Structure formats: structure tokens, C-alpha cells
Amino acid sequence: MGVLIKLLVLHLCCIYGINGGSYKVDNSVGYGRTFDGIGAISGGGATSKLLINYPTEQRSQILDYLFKPNFGASLQIFKVEIGGDIQSTDGTEASHMHNSWDENYNRGYEWWMMKEAKMRNPDIKLYGLPWGFPGFLKDAYDRPWGNIQSTADYVVKWVNGARVYHNLTMDYIGIWNESPYNITYIKTLRKSLDNAGFGKTMIIASDQNGWDIAGDATKDAELNNAIFGFGSHYPGTNSTPEAASLNKPLWASEDWSCVDPLVGPGCLARTLNQNYVNGYMTSTIIWNIISSYYYGLPWYNSGIMTASEPWSGHYIVPQNIWVTAHTTQFTSIGWKYLKHGYGVGKLNGGGSYVVLISPDEQDLTIIIETLSHDSSICTRPPLAPYNVVAGQTATFELAGILKQRFTSLNTWYSRIGYYKFPSVSFKNRGPLTIQDGSLSVQLGKDEVWTLSTVKSGFKGSFPSVPGSKRFPLPYIEDFEGYKVGEEPFNLAQQVGSFEVDQINNVKFMKQVVLETPVHWFYCLIGTYNTSLNVIGDYTWQDIRADVAVKLDGENTTDSVYLSVRTTACGCQADIESGLFLFFFPKEQRYLLSSDLLRKNILVSGKVPTVTHDWDVIKLQAKGDHVWGAVNNDMLFNISIPVSISHGWVAVGTYPFGTAYFDDLHINPV
């Protein structure tokens, strides 16, 4: 019998571990920092591009998973890109001012998405940040400080446009994504917001990788007063003593960005807790909110959801949604963290816990994670090795008024699947009784637990999701179904900005950027003065495309092109390949290049017939041959380099300048 007891004890130790710990939960010593919410980013860039074109039913479902309280991710902050006509990762988002004389507050899809978020959750906070700026604001160093007041006015106009045209109040505004900040600009922006009646729109600075802004704020009282909170990107759950000492909110104002579904949920769970445990960060904002852009574009599948097939209605609800819900469904902005050592800390066997309490002290939430190193590696920064035991008992000892007030907590559980075990997502395990202020939880490895007095937690779902389908062919786009100024749904602009225009009751797509914009600091593709707009399926091989083109009016480009089998996209479009047929109407010539920047010319020559009205470019790739024509004149029929095997269809211009595109036809061959 003694041997059996020893074996049983050994078995239980293997299951639950010999590690354990007792952790105080006590607010009598005061509180830690105020919780500012969990959010996600649309932009940086064009990450929600395809969502607006989804069938109404599926689009509404997707938005519910993201924004509806007590249903899915239940996001508390929604951060969007202030479009600047620049490539900012997966595409270009249109500026509200392409030029100094131009204003339009209906461009793009961020206005629509913010309104959908507010419709579902009126309490959600809104945050705008530029990744780049239109060219009229740039200085001699390609930065937006040519006239600092003009740049501040540009951003204030966007904030005002949100209010006047969309009844949206912007709660937070940023400086310039991951790019050098300008102290004079931050002060000027604060004054400009105040003067325009936006004193409640707070500045988060500086949306860079690091906390250098805090060092400047310690030496400059005016700068410090202009800033509401410090925001850093991918901080690796750490801030700095200097940043923390200023007693301002510290935010991970962009974080996560995982493309690997095996470790992404684990990275997110660990980060959401440990950003506060290690770095005192009271908000984590996830990049990105939804992977709603073509497969083949950079960072595909790095959203907390994926919805990249508007033609089929198919979407994916990954575990990221439910990991986020462990925090957002059981807290609200304004709740208080308990102090470190009294409700916030590390578990003895690995992992972490945080305790938050509502402002009226009537609700309490404990969030626990035991994510192991290998199941929670983030894309960036590197994660130092650490250990989490296979099992541990965590005992939470409530003290003072908390001991008297709370007798049970509702429990929600997730297990990150990783390699060895199937995942469990946001399972309601019922109430857990608190006995004399004490409750114990048996924790395994790679788990997330929420223990809360909040009873409204809910795992939302819909009956079915349509199956996945390929991009439909044949495809025809005549742009007649769009409003003037609207961005065509399926064309994913990569460089430049394209919108629908109309002359004599004929609608067409127009490239509108006239000069190189102020690029996002890490993305130089816009400086090459060549626009790019892709459509379709990254895997297309044998394909024919036709498009009508026209140069007319002022500020026209010199050439337009049609491309097939192109993989050119994102910030590295210049090093990707494709078959690009450039047509120079004024010079009546053409060239076929295997790259966007025309460095590798395969064939060139004269175009026999140019109408100087609507000319039609035709390009077909089949097997190892490609032919091209303008109007009815065959220009070439040549062998294709072996390396050019697949890709999207694309159109664009060289250099920047206006050009018209119409009657795009794409057919398999």
C-alpha cells in the first residue's frame, strides 16, 4: 500500500508539478497603474483592404468578432493609419489631401471601419497615426517638416474631418510611425489641436522602437506636458526606468505581428500579461487587426483574424481572438492594476499573473498565463530562454475588503496547442469557490486562465462560414459601379493612389499622386517614382490581361504599364519580378521589362498606332512565352525568363502623374 501511495504522489507531481506558490491579492496597499485597454491596428498598411468588399452577412460577422463586446476579441482601442499616399507594408492608404489644394474625407475604408467599430461598441477609443505624408509637406531631407505648422494643420484637418463628416471623436493621435520625431512638431501639434477645439485628443509619442522620447521629455517640460503617454513598438515586454519615472501611461503602441499560427496565440497571451508585469505598460495594441489583403503580400496571416477572400466570403477565426478575449471581456478601460507583489507578478513555476479591479471595487479579474518559451516566440524582438514547469499550483490569497467581498470567481480556460496537445479556446469552466479568501488553481504548461466576478463572458459564434475559393476568372472591371473618389475594391494599390473619376458620364480609375511622398522611414519604394496596383491571385501563371489607358489633362505621367506574373509588392517591390509592358504614348514606344524599375529590359520598340485617346494594352503569358500588343498591333512574342513563373496582374505609371485606366479584363489561357 505504501508503494502505491508513493506512486500516486509521484503521478500527481508529474501532472501538477511540485512547484507552486502563494500570491497575495491585496488593494489595501494601494493600486498600480490604470488599465488603458487592449487594441488593434488597421493600417501600416492597407491591412483591411479587402474587408469592405465582403458579402454583407460575412462582413458583419467578422466585425462582430473584432469589436462586439462580450462576443469575440471585444477590442477596447481601434488604431488606424492616417493615409499618406505611401506604401506602408501591404499597400498604400489614400491621403485626405493628395495635394495642398485638395481635401476629401471619404477616401479609403478606415472611416467606414471606425464607424462600424463605434456602432458595435460606443465606448471604444479611436487612435490615428500617420505612416507617411503627401509630398507637398516634405523638406529637403524627405521628412514632413518643410513647414511644421502645415504638417500639424494637415493632421488636425484629418481629426476635424472625422468629427464633421463621420461624427467620430479621435481620442488619441500619434506623430510619425517608426520614424524620427520632431520635438517642435509635437509641441506645435498640441497647440494646434487645442486651438481647433480638440483639447481632449491626446498625443501618444512617439510610436518608435524604444523609449527615447521619454529622455527628451525629462529635459523639456513643454514637451512633457504636450504628451499624454509614451508609446513604443515591439518593446519585448520591457520599458525603461526613465520612462516609468515620469508617471505617464506607457503603451506598447504596436506589438505582436506574428504570422506563425503555432506560436502566435502564445506570443499574444504572454505579451498581454507581461507587458504590464515587466514593463508597466497599460495598453497593448496589436498589429494587425485583420489579415484582409492578398496572399503573397508581406506579413500575410499576421492579423488576429484572416479574411482575404471577399469573392467567397471565407474567413478564419484563429485562437488569437480568444486569447485577447481573456483580458478584454473581463476588464474595461479605467480599471486598476494591483501593485506588483500584491496582485501582479511572476509565477514560481514560470508564467505570470495580473489582477485588475473595477473603479467601484465591485469586480475583480485575475488573468494567468503559463506560456513556455517555444510556444510563445514572437516575431520580434528575440526571446531569451526560460522555463515553465509542466504543472504548478497557484494559490491566491485575498486580503482585506477583497477577502470579505468576493466568494467565487467565474473561470475561463484556453490551452495553446503548439505541437503536442490540441488547443482549447476560451472554455467556460464555471465558478471557482473562494474559501476564507483563498483559491487554488492547478496550472499546466501553455495555458491561459481568467478568473473573474464578471459574468458576461461569452464565446460568440455563427452557424457556418463559406468555403474558400480562388479569385474568380474571367474578371472584368469597368469602374461604373463606384462613386467618384472611391478606391476600387479588388485592386490593391502598392505605390501611388488610385481612385475612380468620371468624364462625360464615363467612369474610370485614375492614378492621382503627382510627386514622391514622405515615405515611412523603413520603406523607400515610393522614392522610385513608379506607381503600382495589383489584383488577383499570386499563383496565376497562364493569364491574359487587357486594359484601356489614357493620358489627358494636366500633370500627366509619361508612361503607363500593364503587368502579368508579377510578384512586385510591398516595400521591396523593386527587387521582385514580373512582365511589365510599359507604353509611352507621347513617344509612341514601348518596352517590356522583367522588373518594376525597368532595369532588365527584355524587348523594346515603336508602337505603330497610338490614338492619343483610349489605347488598349494587351499582355499574355502562357508557358514559356509572352506576347504584347497595343491596340491591334502585335509588338512582340518572346520567351520568358525561367524565373518569372507566377504572380498578380498589375497596372501603374512611370513616373508619378495622372493616368486613366478602364475596362480591365483578365482571362485564363
Q: Catalytic residue positions? A: 178, 254
Closest Cα to residue 170, out of 199, 134, 190? 199
Q: Is 166 in a helix, a strand, or coil?
A: helix
Cα distance between residue 595 and residue 610, in whole Å: 25
Q: How far is CA 646 from the centre of its chain?
A: 27
Neighbours of 534 (CB within 10 A): 27
SS (H, E, C) 207-220: EECCCHHHHHHHHC
Cα distance between residue 348 and residue 73, in whole Å: 29
What is the number of alpha carbons within 13 Å of residue 522 lying toward its C-beta?
12
The DSSP letter of residue 527 is G
Q: How far is CA 221 from the centre of its chain?
A: 33
Note the residue count of the chain: 669
CA triplet 93, 98, 99: central angle to 5 degrees?
Answer: 160
Written as nine digits, the cell of 335 is 480599471
Q: Are 379 and 397 in contact (CB under 8 A)?
A: no
CA distances from 336 to 36, 343, 358, 404, 555 (A): 9, 11, 6, 19, 56
Cα distance between residue 428 and residue 167, in whole Å: 38
Q: Are 39 and 123 in contact (CB under 8 A)?
A: no
With both helix axes pointing from N to C terminus, report the angle between 264-277 and 319-328 in degrees, rounded to the nearest 10: 20
Q: Phi/psi at 253 (nearest 5 deg)?
A: -80, -5
Cα distance between residue 284 and residue 137, in whole Å: 31
206-236 as b/e: b if 16+ CB within 10 A: bbbbebbbbebbeeeeebeebbbbbbbbbbb
Cα distance between residue 176 and residue 132, in whole Å: 7
Place of cell 485577447: 324
CA distances from 478 to 427, 475, 661, 663 (A): 48, 10, 9, 5
